[in-house]
Amino acid sequence: MTMPTPRCPNQMQVHSIRQETADVWTLELITQDVYPYLPGQYALVSIRSSHTTLRAYTISSSPGLSRFITLTVRHQPNGEGSTWLTHEIKPGNTLWLSDAQGEFTCANKADSHYLMLAGGCGITPIMSMSRWLLAKRPHSDLIVFYNVRTPPDVVFAEEWQRLTERYPTRLTLYLMAENGATEGCLSGRISSQLLNEKVADISQRTVMTCGPAAYMAEVEKIGLAMGVPAERFHKEQFHTAAECVSADEPRINLMIHSLNKTGSAPVGTSLLFAMEQNSVPVIAACRSGVCGSCKTKIVKGYYTTTSQMTLTNDEIAQGYVLACSCRLDGDVELA
């Protein structure tokens, strides 16, 4: 029996687990108490009831609409949290969640016209908000672009089909595959030419995006260049909140072998933030996972990455990461 932790006091029982794609699962959770949350928000999950090992996952269900509280998780090789949730947790087990967190939500906006853009598992808050807007805001109009590597990687494929059939005049969905695009699926990546062709009124829409850091940076660059006001452009970044935590928040240990030095940082922060806070020399230019200047070798530890641009397969195999796009989930050791 797992136990509550200071950061994760909300008890949830796993009702069922549904596989979405080859490496993505949705956990359907039952709560005995009211669990308030807004569409698009996320929660911290206590991994194996640890007081310090926490992971942030979007709540992929929609408040007032979904039968269960759901977490949709992509399994990361050697990822302690995702491995535990997708390969070890079983129906009937107990999870402990934090209160819902995050400002990435449509619930506090009066807008009716949205452009939603997601890459990979960044679709989880987009689905939560899309489902909610279509049901709760009858005058809402949504255009959704969803980028995946291949068509089989589409998460919530059947539900997206049902939503487009139910709301044919209010939901326009563009699935995009980098490789192996099939009928009904665009080929390639997001671009200014594509958005200019498909979203003529982009400057009048509220734009919301979630996905790898490089993907969101590109979307932001395109959107602002096409006239989207900065105050109407929103992107999800878990590390933003984590890097503003107070000193009494759970922390992870940092060991730098080359400097024979140790340090610490709040759980969930980026490696770049942790290095800078502990005066570890690091070069950082773009800070968005594109330029590759903050390449760092991790010898051992618990982390997840959102961008591997500029890294070769050999470098990735050796443990190199882009510090700005590496979230620390537990203790780490640097070369």
Write down the pLDDT at residue 49: 67
| Rounded Cα–Cα distance for residues 124 and 57 (Å) | 9
Considering only residues 250 and 196, tell me which one the structure prediction assigns the higher pLDDT.
196
Considering only residues 184 and 92, tell me which one the structure prediction assigns the higher pLDDT.
92
Rg for the chain, CA atoms, rounded: 20
Whether 74 has a pLDDT exceeding 80, the answer reads yes
Write down the pLDDT at residue 246: 39
Write down the pLDDT at residue 245: 40
Confidence band (pLDDT; 50, 70, 90) for 279?
confident
Write down the pLDDT at residue 244: 37
Write down the pLDDT at residue 158: 96
Confidence band (pLDDT; 50, 70, 90) for 333?
very high
Write down the pLDDT at residue 268: 76
- Give 139-193 pLDDT, tens digit per residue: 999 999 999 999 999 999 999 999 999 999 999 999 999 999 998 899 999 999 9
| Rounded Cα–Cα distance for residues 329 and 335 (Å) | 18
| Rounded Cα–Cα distance for residues 155 and 148 (Å) | 9
Tokens of residue 100, six digits? 């819902």
Tokens of residue 223, six digits? 């959107």
Tokens of residue 182, six digits? 């099939």
The full DSSP string for 95-134 is EEEPPPB-S--STT----EEEEEEEGGGHHHHHHHHHHHH
DSSP structure class, residue 59: B
Write the burial class of residue 121 (CB in 10 Å: 0-12 exposed, 13-18 middle, 19+ buried): buried
Write down the pLDDT at residue 80: 78
Domains of the chain: 10-97 (2.40.30.10), 113-236 (3.40.50.80), 242-334 (3.10.20.30)
Write down the pLDDT at residue 14: 97
- Give 282-313 pLDDT, tens digit per residue: 876 566 676 787 899 999 999 988 888 889 99
Write down the pLDDT at residue 103: 86
Whether 240 has a pLDDT exceeding 70, the answer reads no
Q: Residue 58: how many CB atoms within 10 A of its CB?
A: 26
Average pLDDT over residues 214-225: 90
Considering only residues 293 and 16, tell me which one the structure prediction assigns the higher pLDDT.
16
Mean pLDDT, the chain, integer: 89
Whether 57 has a pLDDT exceeding 80, the answer reads yes
Tokens of residue 280, six digits? 């570890």
Q: Residue 247: how many CB atoms within 10 A of its CB?
A: 6
The pTM assigned to this predicted structure is 0.73
